[in-house]
């Protein structure tokens, strides 16, 4: 609010300044208008002088031929006579004959003037001191210096030839009427020439405001008032007409007067034309500065002042050609300037960058081109200085805008700093003072160097912060996935990428729910519901498993991601409005799930498997204690108790072995071992059991398999289990063969029996814990259904696999495939 106010004040001040400068330039700096007129003349260039206005020049050539000026008047008389013969329309003799010379010469000239009948003579103003010298400088008055009455009477008209220059010494206008201090008024010499040439009656003149009607001509004039040096007196330049100069000096056709006198000019050169006789020789001093002075195209004309007679020629041409310029009234100049100011101000306000510059350039160009057209085509003197001043004066608005933008940048920087405060320590912020925002400062922007330093500093801090957050996210054990409100993944930390085994590029942009459904075993409905809940601001948790490369279990915690918009800053924004996405925290819960599974299994073991032998032991001991039992029977019963206890012990041991392995509590102790020795040991330890069941036990070991890197104890346990099973589940008088051979980089240990085999329907299940064939649970063969799961676990821990083939009639063959060098993965365990 305060900022807007100060900005409005600044804008108003700039407007005020612009308008004031326009007024100053228009009213108090006329030289600027003069300079702009010169520029316009230069732009327009010279045009062709009309052929019917010619100058009879008293030039240097004539002075050489006739002699020093002043000449005897008879010379001029003969020149006039020559002209008279050619019958020109009018003759302007721009020489003031105010004093008498020899009576004879005067008479001849008067006669020549009278003979011609269309001669116009000039009168000049001169300054006189009417009273005593004591009146001082202020006592000067002006009076007409007229031609001698005999000449004046002979002439057709007398006009004033007083051409007064403007403030810059340049002649741009002529007063079409002028009076001396005695209010004796004369029309301009040139106007009289035109009047005579066009036969306009002396009284056919009418003066109006800003307009002088003269015959059929309507000449725009202005009455200009300038204060004089005399206090309280204003000099009024009446009927001022602006001269439209044809070009630089020498533009009009000139004939040397000597040539005329000597008959070297054909009379046709003057017939029906306006002839002006006047001095052009430099030495005669009758020259003035005219607008084309410095800008003429011809090199020779450069810097040459214009002879008075040619100025008269230009005036005559301006009147006859109706070429006089019209100056716009001041109010129009102000309106034009105001339009420029408004247009430029709006351009600055509404546009930026190159558009702004281009439009401002366009405005400037239109001012200049428009002014030029007004000048050259419509003969209007444009208010060029006023418009240019308006344009230039509004430029501070640009500065004002950049100041405002700069200040705004300061505020933004300060806001950024304050948003960092929660993160950066107070000491850090205050240290260099750059980022501490001082509210008490004036409403002026800080320096560019400060801004650069602040941005630099903030960037460093933000980068450090980003790096810090990145490090946190990438060193987390949990996977983090962030999805936007459309459900597309927008961020994944390193762990998440590792979990799903894919790169960031694969993850970003894919649908969060679809991705999880594709990669992990998850309830679609539950997931979609959870995502929706999270987007609504309710956190929810669900579990999923990912089966690659081995089954692992994960918990998925979904919660809403809010934009960090401070409620205090924008209370309008509701919680839902601030929501920008959903964050999923994925933690590995495999261990917990495994533990749960183990607990369930233990419960199962205790409740089913252990209970059976225990019940039987308890029942038998109860009978033995409570009842008198015959010694044979008692012995048999004790035998059963013993075997049940042994079964119980074995079951517990096996289960513990398996659990230890599965939980990773028992690491592999890999050693370089001899396979042949291992098998020999197994055969040895089971030979009595085999003999007991009348089974032949033999081994076939290839010597190439001698070296194997494995956990000797566990591998022995595995082979023993397989051998034990083969013996257990074979009828007497059969053979069990254990063989070992090398197959590529694998060692294959196989145990082949000629037993009962494994039926088709049980093949899938025999590696499950506690699973036993129906046939064997009832047959009384001791077993717990934990042998094959243990073998499988041991083999897989070594990076190998177990396979079997079985026919109900011919027996089964279990084969262990072991890599010669177990993979690091299996060594490390889970
Ligand atoms: P157990 O302690 O019962 O032997 P195992 O896990 O070692 O447990 O074996 C599971 C079941 O697979 C056995 O109960 C048996 O029914 C069947 N089995 C295992 N080995 C053989 C074999 N060589 N021939 C026939 N059946 C077998």
Chain centroid, CA 757 distance in Å: 80
Does residue 791 line the site of ligand 1, with CB under 6 A? Answer: no
Residue 674 has pLDDT above 50, yes or no: yes
Whole-number pLDDT of residue 75 = 93
Q: Is 788 in the pocket of ligand 1 (CB under 6 A)?
A: yes
Q: Is 784 in the pocket of ligand 1 (CB under 6 A)?
A: yes
Q: What is the distance between the alpha carbons of residues 41 and 295, in angstroms, rounded to a whole number?
A: 9
Distance from Cα 786 to the centre of ligand 1, integer Å: 9
**Which of 115, 54, 129, 56 is closest to 84 using CA atoms?**
115
What's the rounded Cα separation, in Å, for the pair 175 and 166? Answer: 12
Q: What is the pLDDT of residue 429?
A: 44
Among residues 91, 80, 89, 154, the alpha carbon closest in space to that of 120 is found at 91
In 693-830, where does DSSP find H-type helix? 712-728, 774-779, 787-797, 824-828
Alpha-carbon gap, residue 209 to 197, rounded angstroms: 26
Which of 198, 107, 118 minimizes the C-alpha distance to 155?
118
pLDDT on residue 196: 94
Task: Categorise residue 694: left if φ over 0, alpha if ψ from -120 to 50, beta otherwise.
Answer: left
Average pLDDT, stretch 657-683? 87
Contacts of 359 (CB under 8 A, 6+ apart): 347, 351
Looking at the CA of residue 773, tell me the nearest atom of ligand 1. 16
Other beta carbons within 10 Å of 3: 12
The token pair that represents 647 in the structure block: 């079964």
108 closest CA partner among 86, 79, 66: 79
Residue 244: name the closest of 41, 101, 445, 407 by CA.
41
Q: Is the pLDDT of residue 646 over 90?
A: no
Q: For 409-430, what is each residue's pLDDT tens digit? A: 888 887 777 766 655 444 444 4
Is the CB of 655 within 6 Å of ligand 1?
A: no
- pLDDT 10s digits, 720-773: 999 999 999 999 999 999 999 888 888 999 999 999 999 988 888 899 888 888
pLDDT of residue 298: 47
What pLDDT sits at residue 408?
85
Measured N-to-C along each axis, helices 384-393 and 30-44 cross at an angle, to the nearest 10 degrees, of 110
Residues 173-207 have pLDDT tens digits of 999 988 888 888 899 999 999 999 999 998 888 88
DSSP letter assigned to residue 173: E
How far, in Å, is the centroid of ligand 1 from the Cα of 758?
8
**At 496, phi and psi to the nearest 5?**
-60, -40
Euclidean distance between CA atoms 331 and 336, whole angstroms: 9
- Write the CB contacts of 282 (distance below 8 Å, at least 6 apart in sequence): 60
CA nearest 531: which of 582, 489, 585? 582
Q: Which of 750, 783, 814 maximizes ligand 1 atoms within 8 Å of its Cβ, making it the mutation to test the pocket?
A: 783
The torsion of the CA quartet 565, 566, 567, 569, rounded to 10 degrees, works out to -100
Q: Tell me the pLDDT tens digit for each residue of 213-256.
A: 988 899 988 876 554 454 555 555 678 899 999 988 889 999 99
Residues with Cβ within 8 Å of residue 511, at least 6 apart in sequence: 487, 488, 489
Which residue's alpha carbon is nearest to atom 4 within ligand 1? 783
Q: Is the pLDDT of residue 436 over 80?
A: no
Contact 212, 219 (CB under 8 A): yes
769 pocket-lining for ligand 1 (C-beta < 6 Å) = no
Contact 75, 66 (CB under 8 A): yes
Output the furthest CA–CA distance in the chain (Å, rounded): 199
- Residue 31 pLDDT > 70: yes
Query: Which atom of ligand 1 approaches the CA of 781 most closely?
Result: 3
Separation of CA 198 and ligand 1 centre (Å): 144
Q: Return the pLDDT at 777.
A: 78
Query: Is residue 129 within 8 Å of residue 153, measured between CB atoms?
Result: no
Q: Is residue 752 within 8 Å of 737, Cβ to Cβ?
A: yes
pLDDT at 706: 64
- Over residues 640-657, the mean pLDDT reads 86
Q: Is the CB of 724 under 6 A from ligand 1?
A: no
**Any residues with CB less than 8 A from the CB of 279 and at least 6 apart, and which?**
57, 58, 69, 94, 95, 286, 307, 308, 309
In whole angstroms, give the CA distance from residue 661 to residue 594: 12
Phi, psi of 462 (to 5 degrees): -65, -40
Measured from the Cα of 789, ligand 1's closest atom is 6
Q: Is 811 helix (H, G, I), strand (E, B) or coil?
A: strand
**DSSP label at 318?**
H
Closest to 352 (Cα-Cα) out of 343, 360, 364: 360
Is the C-beta atom of 658 inside 6 A of ligand 1? no
| 779-801 pLDDT, tens digit each | 778 788 889 999 999 999 999 99
Q: Is 398 exposed, middle or buried (0-12, 13-18, 19+ CB in 10 A)?
A: middle
Nearest atom (ligand 1) to Cα of 785: 8
Task: Return the ligand 1 atom nearest residue 654 CA.
Answer: 2
**Nearest atom (ligand 1) to Cα of 786:** 6
Cis peptide bond N-terminal to 70, omega within 30: yes
Determine the atom of ligand 1 nearest the C-alpha atom of 725: 20
Q: How far is the CA of 701 from the centre of ligand 1 (A)?
A: 24
CA end-to-end distance (rounded Å), the chain:
66
Supply the residue whose CA is at minimum distance from atom 25 of ligand 1.
Answer: 757
Q: Confirm or reject: Cβ of 783 under 6 Å from ligand 1.
A: yes
Protein residue whose Cα sits closest to atom 7 of ligand 1 = 787
- 470 pLDDT higher than 50: yes
Least confident among 138-147, 227-236, 401-410: 227-236
With a cut of 70, say whether residue 682 has pLDDT above it: yes
Of 225, 143, 156, the residue nearest 185 (C-alpha): 143
**Ligand 1 atom with minimal separation from the 777 CA:** 14
Take residue 90 and report the two structure tokens written for it. Answer: 């009018």
Q: Is the CB of 766 under 6 A from ligand 1?
A: yes
> Reduced to 3 states, what is the DSSP secondary structure of residue 363?
helix
At 816, phi and psi to the nearest 5?
Answer: -100, 125
pLDDT band at 824 (very low <50, low <70, confident <90, very high): very low
Query: Among residues of the chain, what percentage have pLDDT more than 70?
Result: 88
In this prediction, residue 705 has a pLDDT band, given cuts at 50, 70 and 90, of low
Distances (CA, A) of 739 to 277, 675, 695, 722: 145, 10, 16, 12
- Please provide residue 115's backbone torsions phi and psi, each rounded to the nearest 5 degrees: -60, -40
For 630-646, what is the mean pLDDT? 89
Torsion region of 726: left, alpha or beta (phi above 0 gives left; psi -120 to 50 gives alpha): alpha
248: Cβ below 6 Å to ligand 1?
Answer: no
Pair of tokens at residue 515: 């991705």
Position 826 scores a pLDDT of 40
Q: Is 811 in the pocket of ligand 1 (CB under 6 A)?
A: no
**Among 89, 141, 148, CA closest to 123:** 148
Closest ligand 1 atom to the C-alpha of 783?
Answer: 2
Tell me the C-alpha distance between 252 and 323, whole Å. Answer: 16
| Rounded alpha-carbon distances, angstroms, from residue 293 to 249, 281, 306, 575 | 8, 17, 8, 79
| % of the chain surpassing 90 pLDDT | 34
Give the pLDDT confidence of 323-360 residue by residue, as tens digits.
Answer: 999 888 888 888 999 999 899 988 888 888 889 889 99
> For residue 275, what pLDDT is reported?
95
| pTM over cut 0.75 | no
pLDDT reported for residue 827: 38
Task: Tell me, in angstroms, the distance from the centre of ligand 1 to residue 826's CA.
Answer: 26
Query: Does residue 695 surpass a pLDDT of 90?
Result: yes
């Amino acid at each position: 609010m305060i900022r807007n106010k100060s900005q409005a004040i600044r804008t108003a001040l700039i407007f005020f300044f612009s308008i004031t400068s326009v007024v100053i330039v228009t009213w108090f700096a006329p030289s600027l208008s003069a300079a702009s007129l010169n520029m316009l003349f230069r732009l327009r260039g010279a045009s062709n002088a009309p052929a019917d206005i010619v100058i009879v020049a008293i030039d240097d050539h004539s002075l050489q031929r006739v002699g020093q000026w002043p000449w005897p008047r008879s010379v001029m008389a003969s020149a006039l006579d020559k002209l008279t013969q050619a019958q020109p329309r009018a003759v302007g003799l721009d020489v003031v004959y105010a004093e008498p010379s020899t009576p004879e010469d005067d008479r001849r000239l008067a006669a020549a003037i009278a003979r011609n009948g269309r001669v116009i003579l000039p009168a000049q103003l001169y300054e006189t001191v009417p009273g005593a010298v004591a009146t001082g400088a202020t006592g000067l008055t002006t009076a007409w210096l007229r031609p001698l009455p005999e000449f004046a009477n002979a002439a057709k008209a007398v006009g004033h030839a007083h051409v007064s220059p403007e403030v810059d010494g340049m002649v741009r206008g002529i007063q079409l009427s002028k009076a001396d201090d005695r209010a004796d008024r004369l029309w301009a010499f040139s106007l009289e020439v035109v009047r005579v040439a066009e036969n306009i009656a002396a009284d056919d003149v009418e003066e109006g405001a800003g307009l002088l009607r003269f015959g059929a001509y309507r000449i725009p004039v202005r009455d200009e008032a300038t204060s004089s040096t005399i206090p309280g007196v204003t000099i009024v330049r009446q009927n001022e007409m602006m001269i439209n100069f044809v070009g630089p000096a020498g533009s009009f056709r000139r004939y040397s007067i000597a040539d005329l006198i000597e008959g070297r000019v054909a009379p046709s050169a003057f017939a029906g034309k306006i002839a002006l006789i006047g001095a052009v020789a430099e030495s005669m001093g009758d020259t003035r500065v005219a607008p084309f002075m410095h800008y003429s195209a011809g090199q020779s004309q450069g810097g040459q002042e214009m002879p008075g007679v040619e100025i008269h020629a230009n005036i005559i041409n301006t009147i006859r050609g109706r070429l006089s310029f019209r100056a716009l009234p001041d109010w129009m100049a102000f309106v034009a300037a105001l339009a420029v100011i408004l247009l430029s101000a709006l351009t600055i306000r509404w546009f930026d960058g190159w558009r702004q510059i281009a439009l401002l350039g366009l405005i400037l160009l239109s001012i200049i081109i428009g002014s030029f057209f007004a000048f050259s085509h419509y003969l209007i003197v444009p208010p060029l200085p006023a418009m240019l001043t308006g344009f230039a004066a509004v430029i501070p608005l640009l500065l004002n805008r950049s100041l405002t933008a700069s200040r705004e940048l300061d505020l933004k920087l300060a806001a950024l700093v304050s948003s960092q405060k929660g993160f950066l320590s107070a000491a850090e912020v205050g240290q260099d003072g750059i980022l501490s925002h001082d509210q008490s400062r004036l409403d002026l922007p800080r320096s560019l160097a400060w801004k650069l330093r602040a941005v630099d500093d903030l960037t460093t801090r933000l980068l450090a912060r980003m790096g810090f957050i990145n490090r946190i996210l990438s060193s987390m054990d949990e996977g983090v996935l962030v999805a936007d409100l459309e459900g597309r993944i927008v961020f994944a930390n390193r762990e998440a990428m590792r979990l799903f085994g894919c790169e960031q590029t694969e993850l970003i942009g894919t649908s969060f729910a679809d991705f999880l459904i594709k990669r992990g075993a998850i309830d679609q409905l539950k997931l979609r519901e959870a995502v929706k809940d999270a987007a609504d601001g309710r956190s929810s948790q669900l579990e999923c498993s990912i089966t690659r490369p081995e089954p692992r279990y994960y918990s998925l915690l979904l919660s809403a991601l809010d934009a960090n918009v401070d409620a205090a800053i924008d209370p309008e924004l509701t919680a839902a409005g601030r929501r920008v996405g959903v964050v999923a925290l994925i933690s590995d819960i495999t261990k917990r799930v495994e533990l749960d599974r183990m607990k369930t299994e233990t419960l199962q073991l205790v409740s089913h498997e252990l209970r059976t032998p225990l019940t039987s032991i308890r029942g038998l001991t109860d009978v033995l204690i409570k009842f008198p039992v015959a010694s044979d029977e008692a012995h048999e019963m004790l035998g059963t108790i013993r075997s049940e206890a042994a079964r119980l012990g074995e079951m517990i041991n096996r289960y513990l072995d398996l659990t230890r392995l599965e939980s990773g509590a028992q690491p592999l102790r890999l050693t370089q071992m001899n396979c042949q020795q291992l098998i020999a040991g197994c055969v040895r330890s089971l030979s009595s059991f085999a003999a007991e069941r009348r089974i032949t036990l033999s081994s076939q070991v290839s010597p190439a398999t001698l070296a194997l890197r494995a956990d000797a104890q566990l591998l022995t346990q595995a082979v023993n289990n397989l051998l034990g099973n083969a013996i257990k589940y074979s009828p007497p008088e059969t053979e069990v063969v254990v063989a070992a051979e090398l197959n590529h980089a694998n060692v294959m240990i196989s145990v082949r029996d000629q037993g009962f085999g494994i039926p088709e329907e049980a093949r899938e299940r025999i590696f499950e814990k506690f699973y036993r064939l129906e046939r064997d649970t009832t047959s009384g063969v001791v077993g717990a259904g934990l042998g094959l799961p243990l073998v499988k676990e041991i083999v897989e821990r070594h990076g190998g696999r177990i396979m079997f083939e079985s026919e109900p009639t011919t027996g089964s063959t279990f084969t262990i495939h072991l890599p010669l060098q177990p993979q690091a993965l299996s060594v490390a365990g889970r």
